[in-house]
Amino acid sequence: MEKLFVYFLQIWHGVGFSLTLLAGGFFVGITLGTILAITRYTRFRFITNQVITLVRSTPLILQVSIIYFAIPGALGVHLNVLTAGIIAFGINSSAYVSEILRAGIESLPRGQFEAAQALGIPKYYTWRDIILPQVVSNVLPALVNEIIALLKETSIISVIGGTDIMRRAQITAAENFEYFTPLCIAGFCYYVLVVLIEFIGKQIAKRTCHYHAKN
């Protein structure tokens, strides 16, 4: 039992790193993703589509490696593991977030854009106050799904030496020549975090979807 507790403490230290990576990655992802989703409705749509296709067609492990090893080498700058991870996960997530938002935008009646135009609302305010609040409310479950997927993908950070939950579990296992318990603890940590994210998602949905007919 004491061994289990020691293992748990060692692996739990990785939770903070994983969550920081998740929060940073999702912040970058939702910001870039929103910009990409909106630019799809401008004359830059071709470039936006190419960027999204490029990001979605390459593996995340390759993107992380390029941002941590290749780009700093080419530009002569140094990025720490966390920064490189946030950038890589953020860019990767932005492509998926933009697709989720696009689906949400296309599900809105065209009349909402026209009503805003007829009322003389400038485009910036139309997106900020009329379209995006409705879109986010409609696609919240899909966004929560993206956050959960991103949390699980953060385990890839171990390829560039990040000590997240998974890496901590591997270190603990290697040090003690025992794999079963540390890996089960890592799985439990991810499970608890996902349940927590789902709970927060549901609470936000309750607050933001109050105007839907079903409520």
Task: Give contact residues for other proteins (rule: CB under 8 A).
Answer: 109, 111-112, 114-115, 117-122, 125, 129-130, 133-134, 137, 210-213
Nearer to other proteins, 4 or 115 (CB): 115
CB–CB of 63/91 below 8 Å? yes
Minimum CB distance to other proteins, residue 129 (Å): 7
Nearer to other proteins, 137 or 176 (CB): 137
Minimum CB distance to other proteins, residue 114 (Å): 5
Rounded Cα distance between 64 and 32, Å, is 17
The tokens of 108 are what? 């809105």
Minimum CB distance to other proteins, residue 45 (Å): 20
Minimum CB distance to other proteins, residue 167 (Å): 42
CB–CB of 79/24 below 8 Å? no
Nearer to other proteins, 76 or 120 (CB): 120
Nearer to other proteins, 44 or 125 (CB): 125
CB within 8 Å of 11: residues ≥ 6 apart: 165, 168, 169, 172, 182, 185, 186, 189
Q: Using CA atoms of 74, 77, 83, 85 in order, give the dihedral in degrees to the nearest 10.
A: 20
| Crossing angle between the packed helical segments 2-39 and 45-56, to the nearest 10 degrees | 160
